[in-house]
Amino acid sequence: MAILKSKKEKFPNYDDFLETTKGKKYAPVYLFIGEEDFFSEECIDRVVRDLLPAETKAFNLDVVYGSKADASQVLAHAASFPMMNDRRVVVIKEFDKLLSSDSVKELVSTYVTRPLESTCLVLLAEKPDFRTKPFTDLKKTGAVFSFNPLYDNQIPVWIAARCKKMGKEADIEACHLMQAYVGNSLRAIQNELDKLFTYLGERMRVTPEDVADVVGISRGFTVFDLQNAIGKKNISDAIRIVKRMIETGEAPQLSIVMLTRYFNLVWKVQDMLKYGASEHEVIAATRISPYYFKDYAEAARRFSSSQIENSFSVLLDADLQLKSTSPDPYHLMEMLVYSLIHDIKSTETVSL
């Protein structure tokens, strides 16, 4: 799972940690820094899973908080030999809060420069000062890994990679929709992915419709309700849905992207059905979920090719307006819906 590095990073990152620990080869000391605790927790879970068999975990795992622990007791844990296993794991969260005095700093520094090889000591620091001990010594050992939050444009890529790691493929539109619904919290995204995968069962592909069904409904988002209302030429429902979407914080940009995707799929379905393709062939070519194919096929029969062509022009105009001015989001979406449905109502339907 490739995570892009920030140019400001001074230390190896999450991907580097996974690479260096292949084959379950772990150093005796690690320092994890950075604000993205989802990455640090995943790395800790990996350490524990790789080094501690379930039957010996209770004897060889210690997790303490620096704000509540005594330094000498923590180091005593680290200096203890494992029981019925080759390694033991000691995790110190809030490590920087453990360093209450110069004598404690020196004591910890002495250990990290000559650690017990059978112990894997993992330190998590919120605000490390690399000008002072023991951080200067930890930096020299190459045991420091930095876990920074991802940028906005990295989140959909991470979601896609996460789905692949979990055994499924995700449409990039589905990944963008997931981000729009959940935000940039990796932990919150993972929680929603767990629910989504339960919903999918044996199905191997994640579609935007799946994300809307599982994640969107619980948050009141109705982008697919909007496209269905437009597809059925129901302007009152479409306007009501737009109002609810704006009230719940749905970005117009996302709606425009998803509506463009919708009309693009309707156009492909229409074109293939017109030339005699079977339902199975259309589904295979468009990758529309069989659960939703009927809606797309019915829309393809309602719209003419000129209507669909016009929809792309209307959506492009709305997108340009959104990027070049600061329009009222409700007014923009209301006019967009009216333009799409008004044109649809004023022209003929298609016989397929």
The CATH code of the domain that includes 199 is: 1.10.8.60
29/108 same-domain check: yes
Tokens at 244, concatenated: 């609810």
At 106 the pLDDT is 92
Establish if 1 belongs to a structural domain: no
Structure tokens at 145: 């890994």
Which DSSP symbol is given to 214? Answer: I
213 token code pair: 């069904």
Q: Are 98 and 104 in contact (CB under 8 A)?
A: yes
pLDDT confidence of residue 217? 66
Handedness of CA 148, 151, 152, 157 (dihedral sign): negative
- What pLDDT sits at residue 6? 42
Query: For residues 245 and 204, what is the distance between their CA atoms, to the nearest angstrom?
Result: 29
Q: Under DSSP, is residue 91 helix (H, G, I), strand (E, B) or coil?
A: strand
Q: Give me the residues of the chain with pLDDT under 70, please.
A: 1-9, 217-222, 343-352
Same-domain pairing of 181 and 290: no
Give me the domain span that covers residue 20. 14-146
Q: What is the pLDDT of residues 38-80, one digit of tens each?
A: 999 999 999 999 999 999 999 999 999 998 988 988 899 999 9
Q: Are residues 94 and 201 in the same domain?
A: no
Helix/strand/coil percent split, the chain, to 5: 60, 10, 30
| Domain end among 192, 219, 246 | 219
CATH number at residue 341: 1.20.272.10
Question: From CA 88, how far away is CA 118, in angstroms rounded?
Answer: 6
